[in-house]
Amino acid sequence: MSKNRLVVCEKPSVAKSISAVLGANSRKDGYYEGNGYIVSYCFGHLVGLAEPEEYHSKFAEKPWKVENLPILPNEHGGWKFTVNKSAEKQFQVVRKFMNSPEISEIINACDAGREGECIFRYVYHAANCNKSVSRLWVSSLEESAIREGFKNLRPGSDFDNLYASGFARARADFIVGMNLTRLQSALHRTFLSVGRVQTPTLAMIVERDNKVKNFVKEKYFMVGLSCGNFTASSVRIDNLSEAEKIKSKCDGNSATVTSIKREKKTVNPPKLYDLTTLQREANRYFSYSAQQTLDYAQALYEKSLLSYPRTNSQYITENTAETATAVIGIVCDLFGIYKGVVPNIKQIINENKVSDHHGLLPTPEIAKADLSSLTEGEYNILSLVACRLLCAVGDPHEYEAVTAEIECGGNIFTARGKTVIYDGWKQSEKSYKNSIKSDIHSSEDLFEVKSGEEVLSVSEEQIFDNPVCLVTEKWTSPPSPYTEDTLLKSMETAGNKDYEADSAVDKKGIGTPATRANCIETLIKRGYVVRNKKNLVSTEKGATLIEIVPESVKSAKLTADWETALAKISKGEYSADDFMAQIEKLTIDIISSAMENVNTISASFQNKIGVCPKCKSDIVANSKAYSCVARCGFVVCREIAKKTIPEVQAKKLLERGKSDEISGFISKTGNEFTAKLVLKVDFSVGFEFPAKSGKGGKSASKK
């Protein structure tokens, strides 16, 4: 019997690329076959962690109850996996081959990262497979990389620590998310989503919004001295009369340059992109969300045009240098970027700072690709990565900074400027900015290096006769709301106050480059954050959630420490069991504290709309009903006769026992009708129909 090797990919598109290289050209239902290979695939997470109700029936009870917590799978026989119901057929295909005697070897070709490792191993465990596994580990899907990867397959056991980290991350998210979401939802009688990463991220946004909201602007004044082709400025002055005194002393007097300081400064080239820096700058210059950028980058990866996008490295290794050099010769023509770069590849090589994958690079495949077939987003991301590569291998940018002090009327004014000595890498930047569409241009520099002031041409002891002196009123500015650019930066550096001062310090951060985009989208989906143009702003719902959750749940530092622990687990430097014990203890402590006050219902989150006519407690609005917080039984459904009842009408019903006329109800026979809602003597809700011509109105006892 002939034997085949089974290759399991993460997505159908990747399976197609790999099967073409391997010669498995016969397409079947759920796999490719040929040349001794079976190439099958998952649909992302084909298998995931089981839901709480699969551990005990009490976890299926609704509404959720605090007394049913905590949910700890290890107390119910251990962690279970479940197959995605929408992909059951594909799971059976992979399972059949995994356990087939015709398969001599299994090759894990899922994405080369923590999540890809989990995707494969979940399927492997759910299939009850015990065959040995080899690992394909590649940083791009170009043909040469795939061939090289298959020549250098590694034992699957080499990645046991990576899986341990990914599985620990998934279990931690389950423990924190399932327990604390149910806890807060039960306490406050409305669905509240709490997560290990999303809640600290939301707390950061809320904190920033509070600073903006509570900011008290302060007036101050500046005195400017116009000296022909430049203006010198005073220091900040808080008192108008003092500013006017300075102006009066200057009026009619000459100004003299008393000192000039010249400094030669160097701006080193930027590093290559990792995913987070790519997402940040794509947001700044194309207004793409972090998720959009990841989607475009992933699409380019699957088209073999971009290296693996979910990377946290900004360098390459020695064995990637030849590829990078080849790409540099291609991108200038393709994207219309300055061709005069003499690349210094050595400055982007750092073996010690490349973990799973190197910094983002276009692949040599772009020379053969039809770039006109790319979407606008894909093209923009590819061109941005190409420009970054050229900048990263360019020469330093050099300029002379000039600071001049000017005396007038006994007062000192300062003027600053600069003269570019050598453009260096910024020539590539300028060329790229000139090549992109005008509506994408930004006043900010593309790679976060400020361009400084204009050329300042002055000489010491130079005199300016009768300079114009003006007092300008100014106001202090509030902090800016978060954009995806600045939020990603804060997420990346959370828990490490020294990061800004020393870029060599390891970044802790919350989330990972691969998960931060999804975290932001989840906050928006849950209604805790909204996009206001480019800003991310918390909603009232989001701000209130942060008020009620314990400090430990919203601590960015604690979550950053957890991410550091997960990174150590992947390196074999920390125990996954110890990490999970820490997660479980914190969760149990939070639930125990809540149990002590289980009968004390916080009203802080409740949207109170009136008083209960039955027991005089508060009536609150939630997603399904207007109900009594004391659970006395009084409730007004959000939807009655297929009509959603507006909050304003529910308030009127409570205040006066009757709503206004509401149209759009649908009867059991399918007819539309108009009626008022009325409270009946038994505290149920009925209809009062409009009076017919010549007749009085009547009430119905329908509910």
List for the chain the helix, strand, coil content (%; round to 5).
Answer: 40, 20, 40
What does the alpha-carbon distance between residue 380 and residue 400 come to, in Å, rounded to a whole number? 33
Q: Any bridge partners for residue 185, and if so which?
A: none
Residue 694: pLDDT over 80: no
CA 560 to chain centre: 15
Residue 2: pLDDT over 70: no
**Between residues 634 and 228, the one the model is more confident about:** 634
Alpha helices in 60-159 (DSSP H): 88-98, 114-126, 143-151
Residues 6+ apart with CB under 8 A from 390: 328, 331, 332, 337, 338, 341, 343, 425, 428, 432
Name the pLDDT band for 498 (thresholds 50, 70, 90).
very low
Tell me the CA distances in angstroms from 36 to 31, 73, 103, 242, 404, one per residue in order: 13, 41, 10, 87, 75
At 441 the pLDDT is 40
Other beta carbons within 10 Å of 242: 13
235/89 same-domain check: no
Q: Of 35-39, 464-468, 493-497, 529-533, where does the model show the most confidence? A: 35-39
**Between residues 509 and 363, the one the model is more confident about:** 363
The answer to whether residue 258 sits within a structural domain is yes
Residues 6+ apart with CB under 8 A from 407: 255, 256, 258, 413
Q: Which helix (H) or strand (E) holds 19?
A: helix 12-22
Out of 358, 378, 395, pick the residue that ends a domain: 395
At 201 the pLDDT is 96
Strand-strand pairing, 535-538 and 482-483: antiparallel
328/425 same-domain check: no
Residue 505: pLDDT over 90: no
Task: Give the tens place of pLDDT for each residue, 390-413.
Answer: 999 999 999 999 999 999 999 999
Residue 645: pLDDT over 50: yes
**Between residues 343 and 99, the one the model is more confident about:** 99
**Between residues 455 and 209, the one the model is more confident about:** 209
At 605 the pLDDT is 58
Residue 74: pLDDT over 90: yes
What tokens appear for 24 in the block?
A: 């498995």
At 24 the pLDDT is 95
296/358 same-domain check: yes
Name the pLDDT band for 32 (thresholds 50, 70, 90).
very high
Name the pLDDT band for 446 (thresholds 50, 70, 90).
very low
Strand-strand pairing, 37-41 and 4-9: parallel
At 699 the pLDDT is 41
At 229 the pLDDT is 84
| Unique residue bearing structure tokens 């500046």 | 222
CATH number at residue 37: 3.40.50.140
386/413 same-domain check: no
Task: Give the tens place of pLDDT for each residue, 125-179.
Answer: 999 999 999 999 998 898 989 999 999 999 999 999 999 999 999 999 999 999 9
**Between residues 506 and 358, the one the model is more confident about:** 358
The SS3 assignment for 669 reads coil
At 445 the pLDDT is 39
461/419 same-domain check: yes
Other beta carbons within 10 Å of 471: 15
402/389 same-domain check: no
CA 430 to chain centre: 29
Name the pLDDT band for 687 (thresholds 50, 70, 90).
very high
What does the alpha-carbon distance between residue 684 and residue 506 come to, in Å, rounded to a whole number? 62
What range does the domain containing 100 cover?
Answer: 4-46+84-152
What does the alpha-carbon distance between residue 398 and residue 376 come to, in Å, rounded to a whole number? 34
CATH number at residue 357: 1.10.290.10
298/254 same-domain check: no
Residues 6+ apart with CB under 8 A from 418: 265, 399, 400, 401, 402, 452, 453, 454, 455, 456
The answer to whether residue 246 sits within a structural domain is yes
The answer to whether residue 180 sits within a structural domain is no
Least confident of 378-387, 610-619, 625-634: 625-634
Residue 297: pLDDT over 80: yes
At 437 the pLDDT is 59
At 507 the pLDDT is 53
Task: Write phi, then psi, for 507 (nearest 5 degrees).
Answer: -85, 125
Out of 103, 130, 152, pick the residue that ends a domain: 152
**Between residues 427 and 599, the one the model is more confident about:** 427
Indicate which residue of 124, 288, 301, 308 is catalytic: 308
372/346 same-domain check: yes
Name the pLDDT band for 91 (thresholds 50, 70, 90).
very high
Query: Which has the closest alpha carbon to 66: 430, 427, 595?
Result: 595
Task: Give the tens place of pLDDT for each residue, 200-237.
Answer: 999 999 999 999 999 999 999 999 999 888 899 999 99
The answer to whether residue 524 sits within a structural domain is no
55 is catalytic: no
Number of domains in the chain: 4
284/148 same-domain check: no
Q: Taking the complete model, does pTM exceed 0.85, yes or no? A: no
The answer to whether residue 72 sits within a structural domain is no
CATH number at residue 469: 2.70.20.10
Task: Give the tens place of pLDDT for each residue, 239-271.
Answer: 999 999 999 999 989 999 999 999 999 999 999
The rounded mean pLDDT for the chain is 88
The answer to whether residue 333 sits within a structural domain is yes
251/130 same-domain check: no
Query: Which has the closest alpha carbon to 8: 172, 125, 144?
Result: 125
257/287 same-domain check: no
The answer to whether residue 167 sits within a structural domain is no
At 700 the pLDDT is 42
The answer to whether residue 305 sits within a structural domain is yes
Q: Which three-class secondary structure string do you get for 537-556?
A: EECHHHHHHHHHCCHHHCCH
What tokens appear for 407 in the block?
A: 């005396």
At 624 the pLDDT is 76
State percent of the chain over pLDDT 70.
91
Residue 69: pLDDT over 60: yes
Query: Which has the closest alpha carbon to 520: 113, 200, 170, 44?
Result: 200
Out of 152, 177, 193, pick the residue that ends a domain: 152
421/301 same-domain check: no
What does the alpha-carbon distance between residue 421 and residue 425 come to, in Å, rounded to a whole number? 13
Q: Across 429-508, where does the E strand assignment appear?
A: 463-464, 468-475, 482-483
What tokens appear for 684 in the block?
A: 């149920």
